Amino acid sequence: MIDNYQLLEYAKEASHNAYAPYSNFKVGACALYDSGNYYKGCNVENSSYGLSLCAERNALSTAIAAGEQGKLIKLAVFSENTKMCTPCGACRQWIAEFSKGHNVEVIMESQDSHCAIYSINELLPLGFNL
């Protein structure tokens, strides 16, 4: 199973593919499943700004589209623009969707260039759930 540093490295690689001509804020994400499979995503912006897609939701959608049947266990988020690139509120709700019955870990680059790890329950307490 790949470790947190490797997962962040994959998120970094994905960030280089970001389409972010409006914000110039390139983000990458990598979602790891208990199957051992992982899926990368980057942000994809649009001239109608509100339609922009975040890296995290891109990675999770890519996993779904690939037919991944495992449990999401970790998701790394990375941007060269900032340390501690934390998921936005919408992405937290998306991660929570795939965290039902367990507690997904979100990995970010810490201020001292190591891994900062927060659970989705810490990042989204009392999230909406059906």
Active site residues per annotation: 56
Among residues 2, 61, 83, 88, the one that binds ligand THU under rule CB under 6 A: 88
Size of the site for ligand THU (CB under 6 A): 13
Does 23 help bind ligand THU (rule: CB under 6 A)?
A: yes
What is the torsional sign of CA 79, 16, 47, 64?
Answer: negative
- At CA 19, angle to CA 22 and CA 36, rounded to 5? 140
Does 109 help bind ligand THU (rule: CB under 6 A)?
A: no
**The one segment of 18-26, 61-69, 103-111, 119-127 that binds ligand THU by CB under 6 A:** 18-26
Q: What values do phi and psi take at 8, rounded to 5?
A: -65, -35
Tokens of 98: 């795939």
CA 7 to chain centre: 10
Among residues 7, 39, 75, 87, the one that binds ligand THU under rule CB under 6 A: 87
Going by the DSSP 8-state scheme, the letter that residue 49 receives in this structure is G
* Residue found under tokens 């593919």: 17
**Rule CB under 6 A: which of 110-129 touch ligand THU?**
none
Which residues contact ligand THU (rule: CB under 6 A)? 20, 23, 25, 27, 43, 45, 52, 54-56, 87-88, 91
